[in-house]
């Protein structure tokens, strides 16, 4: 039982670490390019504005 608890903690930490690393890399890209707007960064990464993205998700 303790083995599964330990593995669960390790995997959970791994997922959180990768997610935070992805955010840090994204923020680094924003500041490197001189654009601090989250809106423009979102559009650059996804190819659509946050509102267009929301609408496309609602249509599914």
The structural domains of the chain, with segments of one domain joined by +, span 2-58
Q: What does the angle CA 51 – CA 39 – CA 44 come to, to the nearest 5 degrees? A: 95
* 3 state SS for 11-41: HHHHHHHHHHHHHHHHHHHHHHCCCCCHHHH
Contact 18, 11 (CB under 8 A): no
Are residues 41 and 26 in contact, defined by beta-carbon separation less than 8 angstroms? yes
- pLDDT tens per residue, the chain (60 residues)? 677 778 777 777 777 777 777 777 777 776 666 555 677 777 777 788 777 878 888 876
Please tell me the pTM assigned to this model.
Answer: 0.35
Q: Contact at 8 Å (CB) between 42 and 49?
A: yes
């Amino acid at each position: 039982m303790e083995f599964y608890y330990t593995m669960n903690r390790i995997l959970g930490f791994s997922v959180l670490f990768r997610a935070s690393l992805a955010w840090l890399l994204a923020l680094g890209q924003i500041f490197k390019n001189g654009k601090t707007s989250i809106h423009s960064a979102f559009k650059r990464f996804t190819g659509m504005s946050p509102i267009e993205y929301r609408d496309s998700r609602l249509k599914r």
